[in-house]
Amino acid sequence: MILDVDNTLVPWGETEMAPATRSWLEGLRASGFRICLVSNNRRREVESLAEELGFPVILGAAKPMRRAFVRAMGLLGTGPSETAVIGDQIFTDILGGNLAGAYTVLVNPLSRREFFTTRVSRQVERLVLWRLRRRGPGPDLHSTTEGTVDDA
Protein backbone atom coordinates (compact mmCIF):
# COMPACT_ATOMS: atom_id res chain seq x y z
CA MET A 1 0.00 0.00 0.00
CA ILE A 2 1.32 3.42 -0.96
CA LEU A 3 -0.02 6.26 1.17
CA ASP A 4 0.10 10.00 0.69
CA VAL A 5 0.87 11.95 3.86
CA ASP A 6 -0.40 15.56 3.81
CA ASN A 7 -4.19 15.71 4.18
CA THR A 8 -4.40 11.92 3.84
CA LEU A 9 -2.72 10.72 7.05
CA VAL A 10 -2.21 14.04 8.85
CA PRO A 11 -3.73 17.47 8.25
CA TRP A 12 -1.57 19.66 6.02
CA GLY A 13 1.13 21.49 7.95
CA GLU A 14 0.70 19.33 11.06
CA THR A 15 2.63 16.39 12.44
CA GLU A 16 0.15 14.82 14.85
CA MET A 17 -1.79 11.84 13.54
CA ALA A 18 -5.29 11.12 14.81
CA PRO A 19 -5.47 8.06 17.09
CA ALA A 20 -8.00 6.42 14.73
CA THR A 21 -5.58 6.80 11.79
CA ARG A 22 -2.71 5.37 13.83
CA SER A 23 -4.90 2.45 14.89
CA TRP A 24 -5.92 1.83 11.26
CA LEU A 25 -2.26 1.75 10.19
CA GLU A 26 -1.37 -0.63 13.03
CA GLY A 27 -4.25 -2.89 11.98
CA LEU A 28 -3.04 -2.91 8.39
CA ARG A 29 0.47 -3.86 9.50
CA ALA A 30 -0.89 -6.59 11.79
CA SER A 31 -2.86 -7.95 8.82
CA GLY A 32 0.32 -8.25 6.77
CA PHE A 33 0.06 -5.13 4.60
CA ARG A 34 3.33 -3.52 3.57
CA ILE A 35 3.17 0.27 3.54
CA CYS A 36 5.30 2.99 1.99
CA LEU A 37 4.67 6.72 2.43
CA VAL A 38 5.10 8.84 -0.70
CA SER A 39 5.04 12.62 -0.43
CA ASN A 40 5.84 15.58 -2.62
CA ASN A 41 6.82 17.24 0.63
CA ARG A 42 10.49 17.43 1.63
CA ARG A 43 9.97 18.36 5.29
CA ARG A 44 11.92 16.58 8.00
CA GLU A 45 8.63 16.09 9.90
CA VAL A 46 7.37 13.71 7.21
CA GLU A 47 10.55 11.69 7.45
CA SER A 48 10.22 11.64 11.26
CA LEU A 49 6.63 10.41 10.99
CA ALA A 50 7.72 7.57 8.69
CA GLU A 51 10.51 6.62 11.10
CA GLU A 52 8.09 6.68 14.04
CA LEU A 53 5.66 4.42 12.16
CA GLY A 54 8.43 2.17 10.85
CA PHE A 55 7.48 2.70 7.18
CA PRO A 56 9.80 3.49 4.28
CA VAL A 57 9.24 6.96 2.83
CA ILE A 58 9.91 8.71 -0.46
CA LEU A 59 10.12 12.50 -0.13
CA GLY A 60 10.08 15.03 -2.97
CA ALA A 61 8.26 12.44 -5.05
CA ALA A 62 7.28 14.79 -7.91
CA LYS A 63 3.83 13.17 -8.08
CA PRO A 64 2.15 12.44 -10.45
CA MET A 65 5.37 11.23 -12.09
CA ARG A 66 5.29 7.44 -11.91
CA ARG A 67 8.95 7.16 -10.87
CA ALA A 68 8.24 7.48 -7.12
CA PHE A 69 5.36 4.99 -7.28
CA VAL A 70 7.52 2.44 -9.09
CA ARG A 71 10.30 3.01 -6.55
CA ALA A 72 7.81 2.53 -3.68
CA MET A 73 6.60 -0.74 -5.21
CA GLY A 74 10.23 -1.84 -5.39
CA LEU A 75 10.69 -1.07 -1.69
CA LEU A 76 7.51 -2.99 -0.90
CA GLY A 77 8.31 -5.90 -3.19
CA THR A 78 4.96 -5.57 -4.96
CA GLY A 79 3.80 -5.08 -8.52
CA PRO A 80 1.06 -2.77 -9.78
CA SER A 81 -1.65 -5.44 -9.53
CA GLU A 82 -0.79 -5.95 -5.85
CA THR A 83 -0.55 -2.28 -4.91
CA ALA A 84 -3.11 0.31 -3.81
CA VAL A 85 -2.37 4.02 -3.74
CA ILE A 86 -4.42 6.06 -1.28
CA GLY A 87 -4.46 9.85 -1.41
CA ASP A 88 -6.57 12.98 -1.33
CA GLN A 89 -5.68 14.56 -4.69
CA ILE A 90 -6.76 13.48 -8.16
CA PHE A 91 -3.92 15.16 -10.05
CA THR A 92 -1.06 13.88 -7.87
CA ASP A 93 -1.94 10.73 -5.92
CA ILE A 94 -4.62 9.20 -8.13
CA LEU A 95 -3.11 10.16 -11.49
CA GLY A 96 0.34 8.99 -10.39
CA GLY A 97 -1.01 5.71 -9.07
CA ASN A 98 -2.92 5.13 -12.28
CA LEU A 99 0.16 5.93 -14.40
CA ALA A 100 2.04 3.30 -12.37
CA GLY A 101 -0.77 0.78 -12.99
CA ALA A 102 -1.82 0.51 -9.33
CA TYR A 103 -5.31 0.44 -7.85
CA THR A 104 -6.18 3.92 -6.55
CA VAL A 105 -8.44 5.20 -3.78
CA LEU A 106 -9.39 8.87 -3.49
CA VAL A 107 -10.16 9.94 0.08
CA ASN A 108 -11.51 13.13 1.60
CA PRO A 109 -8.81 15.63 2.58
CA LEU A 110 -8.41 15.88 6.35
CA SER A 111 -8.25 19.66 6.38
CA ARG A 112 -9.23 22.67 4.34
CA ARG A 113 -5.78 24.12 5.01
CA GLU A 114 -3.57 23.37 2.02
CA PHE A 115 -0.61 24.56 0.02
CA PHE A 116 -1.64 27.39 -2.33
CA THR A 117 -1.23 25.38 -5.54
CA THR A 118 -3.32 22.56 -4.08
CA ARG A 119 -6.17 24.99 -3.40
CA VAL A 120 -6.03 26.01 -7.06
CA SER A 121 -6.04 22.41 -8.32
CA ARG A 122 -9.06 21.64 -6.10
CA GLN A 123 -11.11 23.90 -8.36
CA VAL A 124 -10.28 21.72 -11.36
CA GLU A 125 -10.87 18.56 -9.27
CA ARG A 126 -14.41 19.79 -8.53
CA LEU A 127 -15.10 20.08 -12.26
CA VAL A 128 -13.65 16.64 -13.01
CA LEU A 129 -15.66 14.99 -10.22
CA TRP A 130 -18.83 16.77 -11.31
CA ARG A 131 -18.38 15.53 -14.89
CA LEU A 132 -17.65 11.98 -13.71
CA ARG A 133 -20.77 11.98 -11.57
CA ARG A 134 -22.89 13.20 -14.49
CA ARG A 135 -21.58 10.32 -16.62
CA GLY A 136 -22.52 7.90 -13.90
CA PRO A 137 -20.30 6.27 -11.33
CA GLY A 138 -18.12 3.28 -12.05
CA PRO A 139 -18.17 0.39 -9.60
CA ASP A 140 -16.45 2.34 -6.81
CA LEU A 141 -16.46 5.97 -7.95
CA HIS A 142 -19.47 7.09 -5.95
CA SER A 143 -18.38 5.50 -2.69
CA THR A 144 -14.76 6.71 -2.83
CA THR A 145 -15.29 10.29 -3.96
CA GLU A 146 -18.61 11.35 -2.45
CA GLY A 147 -18.05 14.79 -0.93
CA THR A 148 -14.30 14.63 -1.49
CA VAL A 149 -13.80 18.13 -2.81
CA ASP A 150 -17.32 19.55 -2.89
CA ASP A 151 -16.97 20.33 0.80
CA ALA A 152 -13.58 22.03 0.46
Please report the DSSP string for 82-134 in residue order.
G-EEEES-IIIIIHHHHHTT-EEEE---S-S---HHHHHHHHHHHHHHHHHHH
Please say if the pLDDT value at position 30 is more than 50.
yes
Q: Positive or negative, the Cα torsion across 116, 151, 98, 33?
A: positive
Specify the pLDDT at position 145.
41
Specify the pLDDT at position 141.
44
Bridge partners (DSSP) of residue 6 are 10
Going by C-alpha positions, the residue among 140, 121, 142, 129 that lies closest to residue 7 is 121
CATH code reported for the domain at 2-145: 3.40.50.1000
DSSP alpha helix (H) spans, 12-94? 19-30, 44-53, 66-76
Q: Which residue has the higher pLDDT, 81 or 109?
A: 81
Every domain of the chain and the residues it spans? 2-145
* pTM of the entire predicted model: 0.79
Give the range with max mean pLDDT: 127-131, 139-143, 146-150.
Answer: 127-131
Q: Which residue has the higher pLDDT, 45 or 14?
A: 45
Cα–Cα distance for residue pair 84/38, rounded to 1 Å: 12
